[in-house]
Amino acid sequence: MEAKGLPGDVQEFFQALAEVRQLQIDDFTQILRVMAHRPVIIRLLDAPLHEFLPQHEILLAELAELRVKGAPDHELKEKEEFLQLVESLREANPMLGHRGCRLGLTYPAIYEMQMEAIITASGNLIKDGVQVHPEIMVPLTSHVEEMRRLRQTLTGVADRVQQQMGVSVPYKFGTMIETPRGAIIAGEIARESDFFSFGTNDLTQMAFGFSRDDAEGKFLRYYVEEGILPADPFTTIDSEGVGALVAMAVEKGRKTNPDMEMGICGEHGGDPASIDFCHHVGLNYVSSSPYRVPVARLAAAQAVLKQNG
């Protein structure tokens, strides 16, 4: 990521990426060292860019205050330019907007930086005699071409770093299936993936057409209390709708790649009924928050016993 000869704001962007790269190398090194011998799934940047910037309304208030106080012109100009940047990144529906793999394709330097950090951290640990197994996960894939292009680019980055370091890192490259279209064309996406992780939180939002933040605060509790829905679909997976998409994706993905590892991430991974469903459709694992791990393990064991009669 060479920044020489570029405009000032572009140089600042690459300088910031270089700082984040080192922070990520340090983080990944610690995580992979602790998890030695075990696979570690690392999701590439998923959040919309606006989440890393101050709120638009706060900046407006700060700018108005500066004007009232008679701040110098250069200070006002700097604040106005920053406000314009934040304004350009605002989205009406950011959860369906410029995030996930879409961000990685339009701002390739971000994902390339993350890939460099993962392979660099892994390579250093391998040189120290530590076995590592990073699994790089691309979020929000809904078209096979997204996955194909990102895999091609990031594999090139990984090859370059490994050659420079003189090491070979045993990594995998997979994706999150969290859009209905991604589930429907899972067989195509499986051609470019070593594993699937189902992002059931986003998949539930898109399948129901619910904005989770709005639904939970306004009508979802009423729906459950009145029996319109049997359960909160963000707590217990909707087996008839969202579950059908997951089952379809599992079948199509394994038809293309029979040995694919598949699991889910999100809150459903700690719910006993959802875990039973995951076992039924043939998933290999679930992930859950730390405090729900004991419940998840018990539910997984019960699912196996139930199947075996």
User: What tens digit of pLDDT does each residue of 109-165 get?
Assistant: 999 999 999 999 999 999 999 999 999 999 999 999 999 999 999 999 999 999 999
18 inside domain: yes
**Nearest partner of 274 among 295, 290, 255, judged by Cα:** 295
Per-residue model confidence (pLDDT) at position 64: 84
- Residues 11 and 152 placed together within one structural domain of the fold: yes
Per-residue model confidence (pLDDT) at position 8: 54
254 inside domain: yes
Name which residue leads in pLDDT, 41 or 69: 41
**Nearest partner of 289 among 228, 201, 189, 202, judged by Cα:** 201
- Residues 82 and 209 placed together within one structural domain of the fold: no
Per-residue model confidence (pLDDT) at position 5: 53
CATH number at residue 220: 3.20.20.60
Domain that holds residue 252: 178-309
96 inside domain: no
120 inside domain: yes
What is the number of structural domains in the chain? 3
- Residues 185 and 63 placed together within one structural domain of the fold: no
- Residues 118 and 80 placed together within one structural domain of the fold: no
Per-residue model confidence (pLDDT) at position 233: 96
- 292-307 pLDDT tens trace: 888 889 988 888 888 8
Helix, coil or strand: residue 194 = coil
Which has the minimum average pLDDT: 42-46, 278-282, 301-305?
301-305
- 181-226 pLDDT tens trace: 999 999 999 999 999 999 999 999 999 999 888 898 899 999 999 9
Quick one: how far is CA 166 from the chain centroid? 29
- Residues 251 and 204 placed together within one structural domain of the fold: yes
Asked whether residue 75 carries a pLDDT value surpassing 90, the answer given is no
Per-residue model confidence (pLDDT) at position 9: 59
41 inside domain: yes
- Residues 81 and 183 placed together within one structural domain of the fold: no
- Residues 121 and 22 placed together within one structural domain of the fold: yes
| CA-to-CA dists, residue 15 to 9, 86, 236, angstroms | 10, 20, 44
- 24-36 pLDDT tens trace: 999 999 999 999 9
Q: Whole-model pTM? A: 0.87
- Residues 196 and 305 placed together within one structural domain of the fold: yes
95 inside domain: no
Asked whether residue 2 carries a pLDDT value surpassing 70, the answer given is no
- What mean pLDDT value characterizes the chain? 90
- Residues 279 and 308 placed together within one structural domain of the fold: yes
